[in-house]
Structure formats: structure tokens, C-alpha cells
Chain A
Amino acid sequence: MNYKPDEGMLMAYLYGELTATEAEKVQLYLQQHPEVLKKLQGLGELRTVISHIQDQEVIAPPLFMDDANVKPLWQSNYFKTVMSIAASLLFLMVAGKFLGTEISYSNGELAINFSGKKEPVKEIVQPSLTEEKVKEMIQNSLASNNEVITSNWTEDQKRLSQSIRQNLDQNSKKIDALMKGAADASQAQVRGFVASLQNENLKLMKDYFQLSTADQKKYTEGLLVDFSEYLKEQRRQDLMILQTRVNSIEKNTDQFKQETEQILASIISTPVGKTKNSY
């Protein structure tokens, strides 16, 4: 068993402050370790000895304690704060009185005056125009404005119609002149144009034919050369085929000749009586 209670555990055991399981463990350990048990018993005996120190009898003396927590109102922080603010305001007011400072607020205006009394300047504006006069003036101005606008408008209209007419006349004249010019110059120009066209066409046709005949020549020449080459090749191949055929026929005839010779030789050499089947 590796369990070994430390000094703290032994103290708790000595004073009965261990749980049942812990106390059991320590007890088991003490059974196995008599030297520790002896030590603990010694401490227990010591406790018995030192318990002889007597308690001293004493009578509690009367303790007079002033209630320091309850402060008078004038010593409270709240009172001090309020008083300091009030004193500051009073000081400002007195200073303002001596310096002649005035602060006034009227009609949305905050005025601070540092030098004596001064009445605010009130500007009295006498109305010079009545409402009727203003209306009349507006009507007059409107009427004159309307007249000016109408006169301007009629003038503009007149100018516009004039300019349109002028433009139309000019355009019709121009068109007439153009039509006349076109009718005069038409026949000679058309002939010239057609002639030039014909010439151009002829030139183009010539060039085309020339170019096409040259190309055709080249092409047919090439084609003929190619065809003759092809024919030559074909002929050569045919000749080779014929050669091989003739050779094979020669071979066959030679072979046939040899065979007939052999057959004939065998017939000649074989006696007549022996030609009979031996079966």
C-alpha cells in the first residue's frame, strides 16, 4: 500500500476533521506504522497537558463609541457640493453686479453686456406702402409685362412667316435651275458615258481571255504530259506482266516436257506382262 498521510492529514485526523473514509485510511496506515501512531499519541498527550492553560475571567468594560458614521448635515458631502455650487453662483452674481454685466434674452437673441446699461436699439420702421398700393403696383407691372410679351410674340411670328416664305422661294428656284441643267447636258453625257463603258468592257474581256487562254494552255500542257507519263508507266507495267506470264508459261512447258519424257521413259522401260495389276 503506497498511501502515506501527510502532516496536514495527520493533524486533521488528530482533531477529528476527516471524513469517515479518510479517517479509515489513516487508521489503517497507523496500524501498519506504529512509529507514526506513537508520534500521534504523543501529540494527543501533549494536547491533554496544554489543556491545563486556564481561561482568564474578564468582564467586558463599557465601550463608549461615538457614532462616527452619523455626520451632521453640514458635514455631509451632498451638502458641501450644493453649498459650493451656490457659493460659486453667488460669487458670479456679485462679480457681475460690480462689473456691470448684463445678460438678457429677448426675441431669440441672447445679449451679454459688459459695460453699463444699454437699452436695446429698437428700429421703428414706418410702413411706406399700403397693401392696396402694392397690389396696384403688381397689377400694373403684370399688365405692362403682358403687353410687352404679346407685342414681342406678334413680331416674332411675322419674322418667322417671312423667313419661311423666303426660304421656300429660294429652294424652288434652285430646283428649277437644277432641272434645267440636267435636261441640257443629258444626251452628250450619256453617249460619252456609254462609249467609255463599252471600251472598259472590251478591255476587261480581252484581258480576261488573254489570261484565261494562257492558263488553259498551261493546264492542258500539264495535263497531256501527265497523261503521257501515265501511259508510259501503264505500258511498262503491262510489259512486265506479260514478261512474267511468258516466263511462267515457259516454265510450265519445260516441266510438262520433262514429265512426258519421264512417263515415256517409264512406259518404255516397263515390260508388258508386268503392267498387269498385282491385285
Chain B
Amino acid sequence: MAETLLDIAMMHSDSLIARAREGDKSAQGKLVQLWYKRIYNFSYKFFFDHDLAMEVSQKTFISMHKNLGGLQEIGRFKSWIYTIAVNYCREEARKRKTNRALSLDDLKPGEGEESYRWEESHHRRENPDRQLRHGELSDLLQQCLMELSVEQREVVIMKEYEGLKFREIAETLNVSENTVKSRMYYGLDGLKKILERRNITKETIGYEL
């Protein structure tokens, strides 16, 4: 995962976290700006749903604002904020399981440019055809990811897309490092089988793109 300026800023935000912990409003605002995209994308990959991802993100940052004063070690901020996000994701997943309500978009997502995701895509100004194919592949892979169990999915997302170390994931989920590695192994293995079943391989992707 290529490091952007945002990632670098996130890695060196200790003083910002310290100030936010002391109650500095501006520092808290900056922290939200820094981490919002990561928490939103984690939640989005977890649910494959924009609204739920937005809800979880907002709840996560409201909780951060309320409880940041209780954070003991600044160095553990990353795992701390992901813990909040994971807890809200699980909570929403439980709610979703009980009342299986679907949005109208989910009922009829549409194809190509009719898809609401096409409208949301910021890459649409680039080569539209190519970007659409990229978006479709991303959605397809995301659907495969959704077939994993919650435990495996959250570990795969945190490791593969959020770039957390196994130790950090273990801290976030409050489980042992070996459990995390084991979940990762079986998650990847399961995902491989799902992709094979859908005939998605490195070669077919290369051909499509």
C-alpha cells in the first residue's frame, strides 16, 4: 500500500492526539479529517454499503470525541479507534441480521452508468469505460469479500486494506496474535475458493482490464 501524505500525517499525529485528548477542539477536528476516510472505507468494505459506512463512521468519531480523554497511551490510538469502529460495525451487523431491510438501490442497483455507484465514483472524469470496469471489478471483489464470515472479513480488511500489523489487529479485536493469523489464513483461503468458483483469477482480471 503506497503511502500518501495523509498516511504520513496519520503516522505522525501523536502531538495532535495529545492536544485532542486535552480537549483542543481544533485538534479533534483535524483528527476527524485525518481518520474519517480510513474508518469510512473500513466500514464500507465491512458492509459494502455507503449509508451504513457513514453511520458507523459518524458514531465512531462521536465516541472518539467523548472518550478520547480516557485513552491511556497515545501510541495505541490506531488500534483504539479501529476497536470503536469494529464494535459499531458488529452492532450494525447484528441489527441488520434481525431486520433484513434493503435499500431501493440494493433492490435494483442498475448497470453501468445507471448504477448509483457510477455517480458516486470520482474516477468518472477519467477514461469512463476503463473506470467503469474498474468499479465493477471492485464491486465484484467486494461481493466476494462479503461472503466471508464477520471474523475473517474484519481481519482481512484490517490487514489487506488498512495495513495494520498482526499485533495491532490483535489489540483491536482483543484476541491473540495467533488467532488473528489463523483467521487471516483461513480468510484468504476461503476468499481464494470463492474467487475460483466465480472464475476470477489474475489472468482473467488482466484480460478484462
Give residues in A with beta carbon < 8 Å to B. Answer: 7-12, 15, 17, 42-43, 45-58, 60-61, 63, 65, 68-69
What is the distance, in angstroms, from A214's C-beta to the closest C-beta of chain B?
123
A58-B185 CB under 8 A given contacts A53-B161, A63-B65, A68-B66: no
**CA gap between A69 and B23 in the complex, in Å:** 10
Are A60 and B37 within 8 A (Cβ)? yes
Are B141 and A50 within 8 A (Cβ)? yes
Interface hits, B30-56 → A, CB 8 Å:
32-33, 36-37, 40-41, 44-45, 50, 53-54
Are A43 and B189 within 8 A (Cβ)? yes
From A11, A45, A51, A63, give the contact of B61 (CB < 8 A): A63
**Count of CB-CB pairs between chains A and B under 8 Å:** 97
A65-B181 CB under 8 A given contacts A11-B166, A54-B134: no
**CA gap between A15 and B200 in the complex, in Å:** 22
B23, B57, B145, B188, most chain A CB atoms within 10 A: B188
Are A52 and B137 within 8 A (Cβ)? yes
Are A46 and B192 within 8 A (Cβ)? yes
Total interface residues on B, CB under 8 Å, equals 51
Give residues in B with beta carbon < 8 Å to A. Answer: 23, 32-33, 36-37, 40-41, 44-45, 50, 53-54, 57-58, 61-62, 65-66, 69, 120, 122-123, 134-135, 137-138, 141-142, 144-145, 159-161, 165-166, 177-178, 181-182, 184-186, 188-189, 191-192, 195, 200-202, 205
What is the distance, in angstroms, from B198's C-beta to the closest C-beta of chain A?
11
A11-B184 CB under 8 A given contacts A17-B165, A50-B160, A63-B62: yes
Q: Which residues of A contact B69 (CB under 8 A)?
A: 69
Q: Which residues of A contact B195 (CB under 8 A)?
A: 46, 49-50
The closest CB in chain B to the CB of A61 belongs to B58
Are B205 and A52 within 8 A (Cβ)? yes
Q: Which residues of A contact B120 (CB under 8 A)?
A: 56
Q: Which residues of B contact A10 (CB under 8 A)?
A: 185
What is the distance, in angstroms, from B84's C-beta to the closest C-beta of chain A?
14
